[in-house]
């Protein structure tokens, strides 16, 4: 068994780092120590995830078996290109957010804040790296509990508390339904290993594992029910209609750096799980082929359109900048799901590219708005204060134009690819709707731009802006680079999607002996 230790160590290391942090509060009271601890811990995680990313790019799928049990007996971690890429994006955003938080957070009790931040990273990396669908449930809960805690971090603000409890109740129902799906899948397939599940779903009872046996009962019905239940969790995590309502309530009440994590990292997991379950496990060659699968995809395509439409419409009437970004996320995630549900490789490539554009774009907006909040306030016209610092103002302009979709940036190319993929699939109405919805959202983005360009520029407070300036410049550079070099990015994403669609290789790599 050739294993890659870094795959297994990353989630464990992050959980250990998160749990070790409160111990230091016993004898260290200095805020700067905890900021340094968070930055160093997230930085090491970034290095490890970059190492995993390079290994996967060079040598293909990387594995790690906990306790040395051959799969499907123990917990197996299996990272393909999609997991490695999204894991790298997640740990990059978390690292940047940790640095930003050290500048932003000036309240008491930051030690708990950094512990929960590392918990969020552990959960998301665990979901992206694991090859075991019960472990996905555990890691989703690790992520969720940290997220509930971070939303209620300002525990003296009533609004944060009520947003947190609303999110916690709806979130527990969503993860509970995923647990029900796990039980159904286990009852039908007798396994918890994703690769083993893929092999059994592909062969439709022809493949019998020496440990986990073959199929039990009516596996088609069980997997359809399980998939329907999983879709609830996926639409909840990615804020797709009808489960989008929590995002505009929760994101404005969380601390601003955490809002950036919500829109840039937590959203990614829904997309990852969707591609993993719909294209790798229950691929067109699996026992769930045919009409049922098409219904799933068409239904979610319509939900994506509705979601994008609602996001674009409600965007136009927002006054609060953070609520504006939340609805902008709903709009962009609708586009992502329109691409993912086309059922073609081209569509999934477009969806993933748009996801990257959304993650960096929305995170950039939050970093800029955080500066405006420090200097003045959080309404759209308060963004005018950013004119005092041309780099941050330029970053906000780039972020808005990227999300709207203007040529030199990622957003334009991703929307163009999405449009082309819809046309190639024959969904002409969807292709037209992409243009219409983008046109509607123009009003909202233009209002934010007007707030920036013509809002009053007098600051209420003053701060040293060097840290957010560097961060904003860096993410702006990433957006421009990934937009300008889009041919290389698309080429890489083609490889990612090819690997995600290749259920046979995924199954072969996870079952022991191969």
Q: Is residue 13 a contact point for other proteins (CB under 8 A)?
A: no
Q: Which of 23, 107, 208, 453 binds other proteins (CB under 8 A)?
A: 107
Of 32 and 491, CB closest to other proteins: 32
Of 373 and 475, CB closest to other proteins: 373
Q: How far is the CB of 213 from other proteins (least distance, A)?
A: 10
Closest of 340, 336, 342 to residue 425, by C-alpha: 342
Q: Is residue 150 a contact point for other proteins (CB under 8 A)?
A: no
d(CA 424, CA 190): 39
Q: Is residue 112 a contact point for other proteins (CB under 8 A)?
A: no
Structural tokens at position 384: 């005018």
Beta strands 76-79 and 62-65, pairing class? antiparallel
Residue 409, helix vs strand vs coil: coil
Give the helix/strand (H/E) hosting 62: strand 62-65
The beta-strand segments (E) located in 341-448 are none
Q: Is residue 154 a contact point for other proteins (CB under 8 A)?
A: yes
Q: How far is the CB of 304 from other proteins (least distance, A)?
A: 24
- Convert residues 249-288 into a mask of x (bound to other proteins by CB under 8 A) and - (unbound): ------xx--------------------------------
Q: Is residue 189 a contact point for other proteins (CB under 8 A)?
A: no
Structural tokens at position 295: 């219904």
Q: Which stretch binds other proteins (CB under 8 A): 8-16, 150-158, 410-418, 439-447?
A: 150-158
Residue 63, helix vs strand vs coil: strand
Phi, psi values for residue 436, rounded to 5°: -60, -50
3-state secondary structure 152-194: CCCCCCHHHHHHHHHHHHHHHHHHHHHHHHHHHHHHHHCCCEH
Of 192 and 452, CB closest to other proteins: 192
The phi-psi region of residue 266 (left if phi > 0; otherwise alpha if psi is between -120 and 50; otherwise beta) is: alpha
Q: How far is the CB of 496 from other proteins (least distance, A)?
A: 31
- Convert residues 369-408 into a mask of x (bound to other proteins by CB under 8 A) and - (unbound): -x--xx--xx------------------------------
Is residue 122 within 8 Å of residue 91, measured between CB atoms? Answer: no
Residue 456, helix vs strand vs coil: coil
Q: How far is the CB of 377 from other proteins (least distance, A)?
A: 6
Q: Is residue 215 a contact point for other proteins (CB under 8 A)?
A: no
**Residues of the shown chain interacting with other proteins in the complex, contacts defined by CB under 8 A:** 104-108, 134, 137-138, 141, 144-145, 148-149, 152, 154-159, 161-162, 164-166, 168-169, 172-173, 176, 179-180, 182-184, 186-187, 192, 255-256, 370, 373-374, 377-378, 461
């Amino acid at each position: 068994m050739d294993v890659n230790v870094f795959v297994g160590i990353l989630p464990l290391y992050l959980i250990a780092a998160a749990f070790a942090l409160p111990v230091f509060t016993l004898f260290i009271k200095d805020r700067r120590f905890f900021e340094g601890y968070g930055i160093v811990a997230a930085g090491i995680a970034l290095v490890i995830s970059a190492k995993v990313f390079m290994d996967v790019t060079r040598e293909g799928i990387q594995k790690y078996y906990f306790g040395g049990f051959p799969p499907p007996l123990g917990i197996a971690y299996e990272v393909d290109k999609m997991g490695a890429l999204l894991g790298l994006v997640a740990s990059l955003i978390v690292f940047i957010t940790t640095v930003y938080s050290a500048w932003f957070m000036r309240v008491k009790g930051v030690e708990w804040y950094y512990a929960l931040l590392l918990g969020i990273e552990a959960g998301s990396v665990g979901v992206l790296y694991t090859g075991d669908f019960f472990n996905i449930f555990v890691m989703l809960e690790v992520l969720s509990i940290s997220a509930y805690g971070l939303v209620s971090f300002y525990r003296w603000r009533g609004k944060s508390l009520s947003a947190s409890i609303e999110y916690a109740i709806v979130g527990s129902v969503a993860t509970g339904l995923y647990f029900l799906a796990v039980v159904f899948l286990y009852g039908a397939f007798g396994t918890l290993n994703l690769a083993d599940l893929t092999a059994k779903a592909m062969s439709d009872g022809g493949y019998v594992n020496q440990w986990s046996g073959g199929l039990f009962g009516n596996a088609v019905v069980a997997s359809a029910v399980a998939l329907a239940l999983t879709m609830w969790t996926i639409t909840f995590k990615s804020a797709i209609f009808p489960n989008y309502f929590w995002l505009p309530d929760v994101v404005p009440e969380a601390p601003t750096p955490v809002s950036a994590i919500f829109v840039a990292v937590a959203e990614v997991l829904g997309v990852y799980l969707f591609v993993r379950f719909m294209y790798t496990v229950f691929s067109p060659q699996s026992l769930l082929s045919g009409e049922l699968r098409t219904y799933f995809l068409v239904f979610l395509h319509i939900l994506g359109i509705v979601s994008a439409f609602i996001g674009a419409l409600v965007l136009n009437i927002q006054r609060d900048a953070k609520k504006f970004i939340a609805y902008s996320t709903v709009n962009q995630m609708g586009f992502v799901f329109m691409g993912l549900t086309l059922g073609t490789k081209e569509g999934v490539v477009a969806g993933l590219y748009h996801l990257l554009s959304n993650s960096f774009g929305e995170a950039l907006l939050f970093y800029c708005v955080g500066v405006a909040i420090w200097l003045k306030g959080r309404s759209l016209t308060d963004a005018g204060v950013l004119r005092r610092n041309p780099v941050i103002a330029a970053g906000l302009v780039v972020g808005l134009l990227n999300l709207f979709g203007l040529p030199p940036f990622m957003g334009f190319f991703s929307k163009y690819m999405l449009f082309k993929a819809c046309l190639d699939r024959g969904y002409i109405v969807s292709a037209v709707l992409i243009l219409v919805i983008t046109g509607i959202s123009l009003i909202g983005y233009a209002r934010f731009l007007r707030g920036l360009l013509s809002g009053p520029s007098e600051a209420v407070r003053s701060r040293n802006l060097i840290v957010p300036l560097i961060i904003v410049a860096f993410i702006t550079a990433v957006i421009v680079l990934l937009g300008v070099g889009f041919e290389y990015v698309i080429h890489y994403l083609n490889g990612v999607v090819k690997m995600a669609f290749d259920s046979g290789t995924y199954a072969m790599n996870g079952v022991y002996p191969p």
